């Protein structure tokens, strides 16, 4: 349901709405709650101090994350060529976990000749 145009920017709207109770009586919300407008700074998600956008998806049955990443990586590399300086992408999830595990294994194993 789309709000009517007069409701889009009406800061008093939440308290002017009627609330229906379990006994089917209607009360103005202003009688039930107290509201106040409080400024909060925006939360900008970051990773390693860089502004971040995270995209999460599910997998279809029978498809692995590695298979999806294998198809996704060339596309991201192609698109990234046109991105402004300072923008980059990274794969997370299974790909990230696998890379960390491999790094730890190589770090702890010793090469003997």
Q: pLDDT (tens digit, 9 = 90+) per residue, 8-37?
A: 555 555 667 788 888 888 888 878 777 777
Reported as type and span, the H/E element at residue 50 is strand 50-51
Which position has the higher pLDDT, 22 or 7? 22
Which position has the higher pLDDT, 113 or 26? 26
Residue with tokens 């970051």: 46
**At residue 72, does pLDDT exceed 80?**
yes
Q: What does each C-alpha distance from 109 to 43, 54, 71, 98, 104 come to in angstroms? A: 41, 33, 32, 16, 9
What is the average pLDDT value for the chain, to the nearest integer?
A: 75
Question: How much is the pLDDT for 5?
Answer: 54
**At residue 1, does pLDDT exceed 50?**
no
Question: How much is the pLDDT for 113?
Answer: 40
Residue with tokens 């709000």: 3
């Amino acid at each position: 349901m789309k709000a009517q145009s007069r409701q889009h920017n009406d800061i008093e709207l939440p308290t002017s709405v009627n609330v229906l109770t379990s006994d089917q009586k209607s009360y103005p919300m202003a009688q039930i709650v107290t509201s106040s407008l409080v400024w909060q700074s925006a939360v900008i998600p970051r990773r390693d101090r860089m502004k971040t956008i995270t995209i999460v998806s599910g997998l279809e049955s029978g498809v692995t994350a590695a298979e999806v990443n294998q198809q996704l990586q060339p596309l991201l590399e192609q698109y990234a060529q046109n991105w402004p300086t300072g923008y980059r992408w990274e794969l997370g999830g299974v790909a990230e976990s696998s890379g960390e595990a491999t790094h730890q294994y190589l770090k702890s194993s010793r090469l003997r000749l």
